[in-house]
Amino acid sequence: MKKLIQGIVDFRKNLTEESRTLFAKLALGQKPDSLFIACSDSRVVPNLFASTNPGDLFVLRNIGNLIPPLSDSAQDSSASAVIEFSLFSLNVSDIIVCGHSECGAMRALVEGVEFQCCPHLESWLKYGEEAVKKVREGLIINPALSEQNQVSQVNVLQQMEHLKTYPFVRERLEKKELRIHGWWFDIAQADVYCYEQELNQFILIDEKEAELILGRANNPA
């Protein structure tokens, strides 16, 4: 808490005139072009590794970067509400599902931890169970990874499929008005990877991969 409070004091003291102007503009409204779905893990900071400014990303963070499919969304409506707002109110053109290495939620799923004192957590993690099942049935993207990290990568793909259960998401995908991306953040290396379906691999986002991603965005099939 001490570090947090000191950070607020430092932020106020070091805020540049350019930043003050930016915040004054943002007070009038937001126009992010992407919804970024990430884990609540304190080590995952999208604005840091993506070098974005305030107003650039609309962010949903929860344990395990999970999305309830449409059939269950009434029970866990917070994530579904974010998706609706990002599309109908903000009209984002891209949704990014970003998992990460050494995810505690994935570890709990792999190890089958008992949650006697955490029934809400246990209920929430059910949206990641299919990823564990798929890995143990042979869906391996990177065999060099631990089972926990293999599940984390497959979970990204699973949550992308959950997004597609929403009719308004499917409609925008079909009209080429929306793109869904799967990313994965390697904490130890501070590297971000993008899933390439044709290769069935998460590819490091370097300058070459960045050009491919942006090229597809500018020239949708």
Residue numbers in the known binding site are 39, 41, 100, 103
Known binding-site residues for Zn(2+) equal: 39, 41, 100, 103
Rounded to 5°, the CA angle 60-188-107 comes to 60
Query: What are the distances in angstroms from CA 146 to CA 48, 107, 126, 168, 203?
Result: 26, 10, 21, 36, 18
Tell which residue, 45, 73, 59, 4, has the closest CA to residue 185: 45
SS (H, E, C) the chain: CHHHHHHHHHHHHHCCHHHHHHHHHHCCCCCCCEEEEEECCCCCCHHHHCCCCCCCEEEEEECCCCCCCHHHCCCCHHHHHHHHHHHHHCCCCEEEEEEECCCHHHHHHHHCCCCCCCHHHHHHHHHHHHHHHHHHCCCCCCCCCCHHHHHHHHHHHHHHHHHCCCHHHHHHHHCCCCEEEEEEEECCCCEEEEEECCCCEEEECCHHHHHHHHHHHHCCC
